[in-house]
Amino acid sequence: MKSNNTSPQNILLGVSGGIACYKSCALIRLLKQHHIDVRVVLTEAASHFVTPLTFQALTGHPVHQHLLDADEENAMGHIRLAKWADQLLIAPATSNIIAKFSHGIADDLLSTLYLAADCPISIAPAMNQAMWKKPVCQENIQRLRQQGVTIIGPENGQQACGDTGPGRMAEPEQICQQLLSPANRYLNGKKILISAGPTREAIDPVRYISNRSSGKMGYALAQAAEKAGAEVTLVSGPTHLAPPEQVRLIAVESAEQMANAIIPIASQFDVYIGAAAVADYRPVLVEDRKIKKQGINTSIELTQNPDIIAAVAKLTPRPFVVGFAAETHDLENYARNKLRDKNLDVIAANIVGQSRGGFDSNENALRVFWTDGQQTFAMTDKCHLADQLLQLIATKLNE
Ligand code: C5P
């Protein structure tokens, strides 16, 4: 995949059909002022709001509208366009195009380009406030976030239909700033090592001791760090998640394997984030044949696993160390004790066992502590939460 680390030079602007289309014209002018080459793809509905001629005049290029264009398709026009772009931006993005992207439907040029694109993708949603709030729309947005798409806006306010609420397309200045601002690459040049998922401690070739960690938080952190410009290595226990593109993945099973993968290399990193739920204990004896029911010993002798994060915090040189704490009660107390005992720089604590958030959920809330301060992040999806936590880490790194 093309990198996130440099400002885009070639932006492919997808315009889908909403009244906010008129703002796309101002957006093109702004992007051109930044010496960016812009090419436009219009959906059928968008061409009823603003004509292709307007976009052609503004960009200086013909506008692309049809998937099966006889002139273009002999040269595989959509693939060529996708390859040309180093950023795909959809503004405005209607609920329809968002739903198509989120489900992989490719029945027109823009939705096909979304699948063919090998570059960072941003969308600026625009729709009526009731449509934006519909759970199905929010689920689609969340799916796109999880796939690494940056969501810009929408804003709250007066809408063209007379309603007031969230759904107004972000202003062209804000979109432009978010695409081009180095502030979005707040971890540029940083090397970040992240552990994620559970560990499995074998009892015999068939059975193991593990925990309910899904790995979602660690993977969201890896993705958000990569988007923020960091070079990311993810050491992961077994999960069902696809690793984010551009992230180096080291797959492990047990706590000992995780320790062996992390401790020898951790000094080379600027930041270590221990998001893995490392099993504290493992069986002393791992049988090499399946234990039979008859004559089974009803107790398993356990021995303590290495504390990976504490070992990383003892290294010299030592990365900035961020731990996680999943607690069911007395959160601040336990979290602060861990911060001190393991010599961490920051600890992010979440209450598990509540009706929302926690282990297998897509969302979470965090209370983050450091020696002389704390910050609370309200319940939100783990991708957004990861970005908020990383921004805090970036601020602390620069202090
Ligand atoms: O002590 P506790 O397991 O609650 O601490 C949680 C933090 O310590 C997490 O950041 C986790 O990744 C890390 N940890 C570790 N090695 C262990 C146990 C926990 O790195 N053996």
Ligand 1 centroid to 308 CA: how many Å?
7
Query: Do 149 and 218 belong together in one domain?
Result: no
In sequence order, which residues have a C-beta less than 8 Å from that of residue 280 and are 6 or more positions away? 304, 305
Does the CB atom of residue 324 touch ligand 1 within 6 A?
yes
Query: Do 243 and 325 belong together in one domain?
Result: yes
Residue 4 lies in a domain: no
Q: Report pLDDT for 103.
A: 96
Task: Tell me which of 193, 236, 278 to substitute to probe ligand 1's pocket, judged by most ligand atoms within 8 Å of the beta carbon.
Answer: 278
C-alpha to C-alpha distance for 393 and 194, rounded to whole angstroms:
13
Q: Tell me, letter by letter, the H, E, C secondary structure of the chain.
A: CCCCCCCCCEEEEEECCCCCHHHHHHHHHHHHHCCCEEEEEECCCHHHHCCHHHHHHHHCCCCECCCCCHHHHCCCHHHHHHHHCCEEEEEEECHHHHHHHHHCCCCCHHHHHHHHCCCCEEEEECCCHHHHHCHHHHHHHHHHHHCCCEECCCEEEECCCCCEEEEECCCHHHHHHHHHCHHHHCCCCCEEEEEECECCEECCCCCEECCCCCCHHHHHHHHHHHHCCCEEEEEECCCCCCCCCCCEEEECCCHHHHHHHHCCCHHHCCEEEECCECCCEEECCCCCCCCCCCCCCCCCCEEECCCHHHHHHCCCCCCEEEEEEEECCCHHHHHHHHHHHCCCCEEEEEECCCCCCCCCCCEEEEEEEECCEEEEEEEEEHHHHHHHHHHHHHHHHHC
Query: Do 120 and 230 belong together in one domain?
Result: no
Ligand 1 centroid to 353 CA: how many Å?
18
Q: Report pLDDT for 54.
A: 96
Residue 174 lies in a domain: yes
Opening angle at CA 83, ends 54 and 71, nearest 5: 60
Query: Do 270 and 317 belong together in one domain?
Result: yes
Q: Report pLDDT for 157.
A: 84
Q: Which tokens is 198 given? A: 């559970």
Ligand 1 centroid to 346 CA: how many Å?
13
Does the CB atom of residue 255 touch ligand 1 within 6 A?
yes
Q: Give me the CATH number covering residue 283.
A: 3.40.50.10300
Does the CB atom of residue 72 touch ligand 1 within 6 A?
no
Q: Phi and psi for 60 in degrees, rounded to 5?
A: 80, 15
Does the CB atom of residue 110 touch ligand 1 within 6 A?
no
Query: Torsion-angle region of residue 358: left (phi > 0), alpha (psi -120 to 50) or beta?
Result: left
Q: Which of 180, 199, 223 is the last residue of a domain?
A: 180
C-alpha to C-alpha distance for 12 and 87, rounded to whole angstroms:
6
Q: Report pLDDT for 76.
A: 57
Residue 289 lies in a domain: yes
Q: Which of 180, 199, 226 is the last residue of a domain?
A: 180
Query: Do 159 and 266 belong together in one domain?
Result: no
Task: Give the nearest ligand 1 atom to 312 CA.
Answer: 20
Q: Which of 145, 180, 215 is the last residue of a domain?
A: 180
Ligand 1 centroid to 25 CA: how many Å?
51
Query: Do 145 and 201 belong together in one domain?
Result: no
In sequence order, which residues have a C-beta less than 8 Å from that of residue 24 and are 6 or more positions away? 13, 15, 40, 50, 55, 91, 92, 172
Q: Phi and psi for 168 in degrees, rounded to 5?
A: -70, 135
Q: Tell me, letter by letter, the H, E, C secondary structure of 276-313.
A: CECCCEEECCCCCCCCCCCCCCCCCCEEECCCHHHHHH
Q: Which of 244, 146, 236 is nearest to 198 (CA)?
A: 236
Range of the domain at 111: 10-180
Ligand 1 centroid to 274 CA: how many Å?
7
Query: Do 292 and 326 belong together in one domain?
Result: yes
Does the CB atom of residue 237 touch ligand 1 within 6 A?
no
Annotated catalytic residue within 21, 137, 161, 176: 161
Q: What is the pTM of this model?
A: 0.75
Q: Which of 85, 73, 141 is nearest to 117 (CA)?
A: 85
Residue 328 lies in a domain: yes
Query: Do 27 and 125 belong together in one domain?
Result: yes
Does the CB atom of residue 325 touch ligand 1 within 6 A?
yes
Residue 252 lies in a domain: yes
Query: Do 341 and 214 belong together in one domain?
Result: yes
Residue-wise pLDDT tens for the chain (399 aa)?
Answer: 665 556 778 999 999 999 999 999 999 999 999 889 999 999 999 999 999 999 999 999 999 998 876 565 555 577 888 999 999 999 999 999 999 999 999 999 999 999 999 999 999 999 999 999 999 999 999 899 888 899 999 998 888 888 888 999 999 999 998 888 777 789 988 999 999 999 999 999 999 999 999 999 999 999 999 989 899 999 999 999 988 878 999 999 999 999 999 999 999 999 999 999 999 999 999 999 998 887 677 889 999 999 999 999 999 999 999 999 988 889 999 999 999 999 999 999 987 767 676 767 888 899 999 999 999 999 888 888 999 999 999 999 988
Query: Do 279 and 375 belong together in one domain?
Result: yes
Residue 153 lies in a domain: yes
Query: Do 40 and 146 belong together in one domain?
Result: yes
Nearest CA to ligand 1 atom 4: 325
Query: Do 142 and 197 belong together in one domain?
Result: no
Task: Give the nearest ligand 1 atom to 309 CA.
Answer: 20
- Whether 21 is catalytic: no
Domains identified in the chain, total number? 2
Residue 74 lies in a domain: yes
Opening angle at CA 209, ends 207 and 212, nearest 5: 120
Q: Report pLDDT for 295.
A: 66
Q: Give me the CATH number covering residue 30.
A: 3.40.50.1950
Residue 186 lies in a domain: no
Task: Tell me which of 309, 328, 368, 393 to substitute to probe ligand 1's pocket, judged by most ligand atoms within 8 Å of the beta carbon.
Answer: 309
Ligand 1 centroid to 187 CA: how many Å?
24
Does the CB atom of residue 278 touch ligand 1 within 6 A?
yes
Task: Give the nearest ligand 1 atom to 325 CA.
Answer: 6
The answer to whether the CB of 267 falls within 8 A of the CB of 229 is no
Nearest CA to ligand 1 atom 19: 278
Give residue 129's identity as a one-letter amino acid code. Q
Does the CB atom of residue 341 touch ligand 1 within 6 A?
no
- The HSE-up count of residue 55 (CA atoms within 13 Å, CB side) is 27
Q: Which of 189, 173, 124, 177 is nearest to 152 (CA)?
A: 124
Nearest CA to ligand 1 atom 6: 325
